[in-house]
Amino acid sequence: MKNFDVPLHTKGRSVFVDDMPVPEGTLYAAVFPSPAAHGRIKKLDVGKAGTGEGVAAVLTCKDIPGQNQVGAIIQDECLLAEETVHFMGEPVALVIAETKAAAKKAFKDIVLEIDPLPAVTDPRESYANGTLIIPPRTFALGDVDKAWEECDMIVEGRVDSGGQEHYYMEPQGAVAVPVEDGGIKIYSSTQSPTGVQRIAARVLGQPMHKIEVDTRRIGGGFGGKEDQATPWACMAALAAYKLKKPVKLVLDRGEDIKMTGKRHPYSSDFKLGLKEDGTILAYDVMFYQNSGASADLSTAILERTLFHGTNSYFIPNVRATAACCYTNLAPFTAFRGFGGPQAMFVLESAIRTAAETMKLSPRVIQQKNLLNEDDTFPYGMKVENCRARRCWEEAEERYGFEAIFQNVESFNAANRMKKKGAAVMPVCFGISFTNTMMNQAGALVHVYTDGSVGVSTGAVEMGQGVNMKILGIAACTLSISPGRVKIETTNTTRAANTSPTAASTGADMNGRAVQVACQGIIGRLKRLAAELLHHENADDIEIKEDMVHLTGWKTALSWEALVTEAFNRRIDLSSHGYYATPDIYFDRTEEKGKPFAYHVFGTAVTEVTLDCLRGTYEIDAVHVVHDAGKSLNFLIDRGQAEGGVVQGIGWMTMEELIYSKDGRLLTDSSSTYKVPDIKFTPRVVDVHFLEDAGNPKAVMNSKAIGEPPLMYGIGAYFAILEAMKAFRPDGDIFFHSPLTPEKVLNFLYLKKPSIP
Ligand code: MTE
Ligand code: LUZ
Ligand code: MOS
């Protein structure tokens, strides 16, 4: 089944927040940002701006009727600045006018005086200052300190990974409409309608039932709208509430890049101990997370970094410590992988360092240490249904690792100014929100009297195809044709208290809830059918191709007739379904538990060609063997895998966030922040899904796929590094992503390659 959103997208007919027809009298809001990264507000006078042409009002923190607090996990973030500003771009005031241009024009009349305070942008500096958001956390297994004695080789090093702008096609935005009882209806481009509802209620000082949030679809989120869609929706709601008029607030690209958080940059130190044969005995790692100017989701992301410290490997002695370091940059937030990729990059770098020192192939170390069934992760969980080796071996066979690496060698021997490189990247990613409480979902299914079906869940469609997957699950469970099923908007009045669509669990959890709801309805309908057909056992009833079958034989009773009859007999044609992932828990005092329902595995091999004159590179091919369980939708899953790979490569290679010392983002536009385009995309992205790889832990034997493939992209860094080394074998390898052509050129030609 093809994703029904695709024809709409390609014809430009899918509707996003900025496309929605707005009610008459709608006003437009613009956000006045802090010009300083850190400072005390001496004076804020919006009087004159409020009298500007077409201006309806200028709101500041003083106009907030409820709490000026949008922090979801830790309440440390104002909607509009109070006494202090903490990052450049922090919202200070909200101008509402007849047009957005008129609102922005009034900015010049806002008087803002700030006493500057020192701005910190480096997480290590923040750590030294002791400005941590929570105390550091440590995951440990075995005894690292003792294990060093048994090691034949110990290597140490430092790894830095840059942040990443989400670059969703649809910028942040919301429309808020006052409704008759003093409530507000918000159309928001959010991954978390309930999150918007909860915080908007807090800001307005209203009960949650007065706030209705509706999301049709979003033009990409990638984690950037898990938490950070909320402030914009709250600002629109605040303005609508105060002015009793509909208010639209949509950021343009420049505003979005400057004001919103991105993937967390990390700086890390590692120490890795191995036996002569490449067996890893001990791993000690310290992660300094650049958290930005408020907690946002940083603590949860830090936790997922710790969970993925050893990626797809078993290491018997581990100590992984991580710290959330407060800095004066826009609060960093969720981004596909959620701290996992940052952790994996460090261990892969450590493995390369060891390989280099021991004159071993990194592949030997990687393969030797892959997880086996029943191995224990540092967080105490045992790996079940482990497919780490199976993916590696299938990739090795299918794509011919030997031939790939041979080809690289012979090419490099024959060419001086072009070099090739290749690298293998195994991935193991845990599925479930690490905060156990969040692993619950609800669905509401209505069968209408004509036999058509409406499905509401907490899942938000963001291009990942969750609606199509849910439609398939509903059609399959009711055993009716997919054309009868419609997926409704994600709305807080139909699906309440939902988790964000995140952690790759959207289809898993909402799909299960839909299944439960559909099973309720179909059970009642089968009992009725049995009665109508004068048959005892409802289990002998089946619905196939929209007709009722009895003990395998087609009857004259159609789905429509059955539904109509059920209505006539006053049988409930609606059902609510609920699902909570079973058997998961985590104990944060011991740092042990079983936080994940299951793990996703895979292996990728990446091939690159480096132009040693220019320092530019092409990604020739990425070959993947991926464990998608029993895919719910093959085309969608392949798209997720391909998109994830390319996004991961972008993070590792060309996407560069450069900040000035005083906390200004310098790469704040499409001309300076480069994302992969069609020309940069690898010519070959092969994705092979494991066959016969069902997963009883998720709906219909499937596996989550949203995030894990991004981490295959990490292989690109090491493939390029191999090519660089082939040109300059005496160069000191470094681990500082993104590996931009500038850094490559420095390595190739500078006497002493400088690492920025
Ligand atoms: N794919 C598209 N096209 N757009 C997106 O915004 N977000 C990713 C992934 N794939 C995203 C995407 C992220 S970060 C997550 S967590 C999952 O989709 C969320 O959806 P799922 O749980 O339904 O897989
Ligand atoms: N969000 C969250 C996530 O709140 N908890 C998680 O564990 C998570 N994992 C991945 C992406 N988003
Ligand atoms: Mo994805 S980072 O869980 O939204």
Ligand sitting nearest the alpha carbon of 595: 2
Residue with tokens 């012979």: 410
Q: How far apart are CA 377 and CA 708, in angstroms?
A: 18
- The span from the CA of 303 to the CA of 139, in Å, is 9
Residues of the chain under the 70 pLDDT cut = 752-756
Residue pair 516/510 in contact by the 8 Å Cβ criterion: no
Residue 705 Cα: closest atom of ligand 1: 24
- 187 token code pair: 């159309």
Tell whether ligand 1 has an atom less than 6 A from the beta carbon of residue 123. no
Can you tell me whether residue 319 is helix, strand or coil?
strand
**Cβ 336 under 6 angstroms from ligand 3:** yes
**Of 422, 349, 363, 341, which Cα lies nearest the Cα of 623?**
422
Atom of ligand 1 nearest to the CA of 464: 1
Pick the ligand that lies closest to the CA of residue 221.
1
- The pTM of the full predicted model, rounded to 2 decimals, is 0.98
Averaged pLDDT of the chain: 97
**Cβ atoms within 10 Å of 359's Cβ, excluding its own:** 6
Residue ranges around ligand 2 (CB below 6 Å): 226, 297, 300, 304, 334, 338, 433-435, 438, 502-503
Determine which residue's CA is closest to atom 12 belonging to ligand 2. 503
Cα gap 47→376, rounded to integer Å: 62
What's the maximum distance between 2 C-alpha atoms anywhere in the chain?
90
CB 111 within 8 A of CB 45: yes
d(CA 500, CA 202): 18
Q: Could you tell me which residues are beta bridge partners of residue 271?
A: 156, 284
**Amino acid 2: pLDDT:** 81
User: Distance between the two ends of the chain, CA-based, in angstroms?
Assistant: 48
Q: Write out the H or E segment, with its range, that includes residue 103.
A: helix 100-105
Work out the number of other CB atoms within 10 angstroms of the CB of residue 732: 10
Q: What is the pLDDT of residue 756?
A: 52
* Ligand 2 mutation target, pool 433, 584, 588, most atoms within 8 A of CB: 433
Residue 220 CB less than 6 A away from ligand 1? yes
CA atoms of 86 and 131, how far apart (whole Å): 13
Q: Kindly provide the b/e burial profile for residues 683-720, where b requires at least 16 CB atoms within 10 angstroms of the residue's own CB.
A: eebbbbbbeebebebbbbebbbbbbbbbbbbbbbbbbb
Q: Which residues contact 548 (CB under 8 A, 6 or more apart)?
A: 529, 533, 541, 542, 554, 555, 557, 558, 559, 562
Q: How far is the CA of 463 from the centre of ligand 1 (A)?
A: 7
Nearest 5°: the CA angle 125, 127, 129 is 70
What is the whole-number distance in angstroms between the Cα of residue 673 and the centre of ligand 1? Answer: 22
Is the CB of residue 655 less than 8 Å from the CB of residue 675? yes
HSE at residue 472, side-chain half, CA atoms within 13 A, is 19
What is the distance in A from the centroid of ligand 2 to the CA of 222? 11
Please indicate whether residue 399, judged by its CB atom, sits closer than 6 Å to ligand 3.
Answer: no
Q: Is 655 a catalytic residue?
A: no
- Centroid of ligand 2 to alpha carbon of 669 (angstroms): 28
* The predicted structure's pLDDT at residue 1: 74
Identity of the residue numbered 209: H
| Of the candidates 375, 301, 361, 351, the residue with the CA atom closest to the CA atom of residue 72 | 301
- Per residue, the 3-state secondary structure of 22-40, as one string, reads CCCCCEEEEEEECCCCCEE
Distance separating alpha carbons of residues 330 and 338, to the nearest angstrom: 17
- Which of 559, 554, 502 is CA-nearest to residue 525? 559
Nearest CA to ligand 2 atom 7: 433
Report long-range pairs for 124-128 (Cβ below 8 Å, ≥24 apart): 124/267, 124/288, 124/325, 126/288, 126/290, 126/325, 126/326, 126/327, 127/288, 127/323, 127/325
- The pLDDT of residue 754 is 55
Contact predicate 307/340, CB 8 Å: yes
SS3 state at 49: helix
Which one of the listed residues 348, 656, 707, 722 is annotated catalytic? 707
Distances (CA, A) of 704 to 39, 62, 400, 736: 44, 44, 27, 30
Q: Please name the residues in contact with 749: beta carbons below 8 A apart, sequence gap of 6 or more.
A: none
Q: How far is the CA of 335 from the centre of ligand 1 (A)?
A: 10
Residue 280: beta bridge partners?
Answer: 274
Q: Whose CA is nearest to atom 11 of ligand 1?
A: 222
| Cα 465 to ligand 1 centre (Å) | 8
Contact between 535 and 541 (Cβ < 8 Å)? yes
Structure tokens at 244: 């009793």
- Three-state secondary-structure class, residue 260: coil
Is residue 551 within 8 A of residue 539, CB to CB? The reply is: no
* CA 501 – ligand 3 centroid, Å: 7
Q: Which ligand is nearest to the CA of 223?
A: 3
pLDDT at 752: 67
Q: Residue 109 in contact with residue 44, Cβ under 8 Å?
A: no
Ligand nearest to the CA of 166: 1
**Cα separation of 641 and 231, whole Å?**
31
Q: Could you tell me the CA-to-CA distances from 128 to 288, 299, 323, 383 in Å, in that order? A: 11, 19, 11, 37
663: alpha, beta or left, given left = phi > 0 and alpha = psi -120 to 50?
Answer: left
